[in-house]
Amino acid sequence: MPSYYELYRRSTLGMALTDSLDELIQAGHITPQLAIQVLGQFDKSISEALSSKVKAKAVIKGNLRTYRFCDDVWTFIIKSPNFKFDHDSTSADKVIIVACNARRPGE
């Protein structure tokens, strides 16, 4: 039984799910255990969808302000990043990149 990163819970989709689950807990309609199980399923579903259904490529350029490598997780803070996608591009003042190891321990 492979495990999945919880990383994507911080995404818009994961945050919205967490909030929806929380509302159901507060209302007494589900237990926290069930909510935690749902998040576990979310970890699996989003990980599989990203690896098997997404084909888009991107290039990120910018000035690396801060880097950190801790517990096999890279964190980069990029100043003035530029994002190039297949059909368009965008930029921002700053972006934080959180990257877990694609090769899971034990794989």
Q: Which of 1, 70, 102, 107 binds another protein (CB under 8 A)?
A: 102
State how far the Cα of 63 lies from the Cα of 78, in Å rounded to an integer. 5
Binding residues for another protein restricted to 12-71, rule: CB under 8 A: 12-13, 15-39, 41-42, 44-51, 53-67, 69
- Binding positions for another protein, 66-95, rule CB under 8 A: 66-67, 69, 74-79, 81, 83, 85-88, 90, 92-95
Cβ distance 62 to 79 under 8 Å?
A: yes
9 in contact with another protein (CB under 8 A): yes
Q: How far apart are the first and last CA of the chain?
A: 12
- Closer residue to another protein (CB): 3 or 32: 32
Q: Which of 46, 36, 52, 37 is nearest to 14 (CA)?
A: 46
